[in-house]
Amino acid sequence: MALIKYRRPNSDVFSKSFNDIFDEFFSNTPSYRTDSFVPSVDISETDTQFEISAELPGIKKENINVDLEKSRLTISGERKMKNEEKGKNFHRVETQYGSFTRSFYLPDTIDEDSVQAKYEDGILNITINKSNDKIKKQIEIA
């Protein structure tokens, strides 16, 4: 399985200007974080299937999409910020909001019809069975 390289927005401190770093540190509004939500993903493999878990806390199931096209699995969605309350001043906002997309190339050995996704307690679990027909076989030489 190949991971499509993803760079987190605003993760390279050395490419930022001094003013950008100061503004980000002392900003009392969450507006600069609106496009930086990147969910954490764990990928594992057993003898019979691939398992993908994505942390998506606070996102409704209706706002999550899972697509498989030409061996490319894409998880996308959006975490929306709750409406600000009048008279409330934020001193620190560490929660990330915005749209996200994560894509992964799957090997040819998967059974595309077996993809299952389950969302529970803020965790999206995707399982994909391996196809017995496509698994590499050792050929004995006679």
**For the chain, domain boundaries:** 39-82+93-132
Task: Give CA–CA dist 27/138, Å, rounded.
Answer: 60
Contacts of 1 (CB under 8 A, 6+ apart): 43, 45, 50, 104, 105, 106, 107
Confidence of residue 31 (pLDDT cuts 50, 70, 90): very low
Question: What is this structure's pTM?
Answer: 0.67
Task: Give CA–CA dist 114/108, Å, rounded.
Answer: 14
Highest mean pLDDT among 22-31, 91-100, 133-142 belongs to 91-100
Angle 3-6-12 from CA coordinates, rounded to 5°: 145
Compare 92 and 34 and report the one with higher pLDDT.
Answer: 92
pLDDT at 133: 75
Reported as a single tens digit per residue, the pLDDT across 36-91 is 678 999 999 998 999 999 999 989 999 999 999 988 999 999 888 776 667 777 77
Task: Give CA–CA dist 20/94, Å, rounded.
Answer: 17
DSSP 130: B
> Could you name the CATH architecture of 39-82+93-132?
Sandwich (2.60)
**Two structure tokens written together for 44:** 């594992």
Sign of CA dihedral 107, 109, 114, 120: negative
| Selection from 15, 30, 97 nearest residue 59 by Cα | 97
pLDDT over 90 (residue 11): no
